[in-house]
Amino acid sequence: MGLFDIFRSTDINEELKTMKETPGAVLLDVREVDEYEEEHIPESVNIPLSNLEKIQDMHYAKDTPLFVYCHSGRRSGAAVMMLRGLGYTNAKNIGGIMHYKKA
């Protein structure tokens, strides 16, 4: 990773392709339940940021590839930091559904 890579935005559509090619990957939507019910990416799991500790009830291995999204990418960024604090070593912020292009 170069110095300016931190300024490059994540392309949720490219990340979804990577997620589909990653064995055992989980697509995690951290928006609130009403937002998820209104619209979500197919096959995603909804655990709101406000209840993220409940991910432990899902019994995912700590190294499960977690591809995390929200509306814009802010909450998913916070979620990745929280997940790392909970011991999940393979969580990645893939951005916001606002940039998602349905296939």
Any catalytic annotation for residue 70? yes
Kindly give the pairing relationship between strand 91-96 and strand 66-70: parallel
Q: Of the residues 41, 70, 79, 80, which is catalytic? A: 70
Q: What are phi and psi of 46, to 5 degrees?
A: -100, 115
Other residues' Cβ atoms within 10 Å of the Cβ of residue 80: 19
User: Which residues are designated catalytic?
Assistant: 70
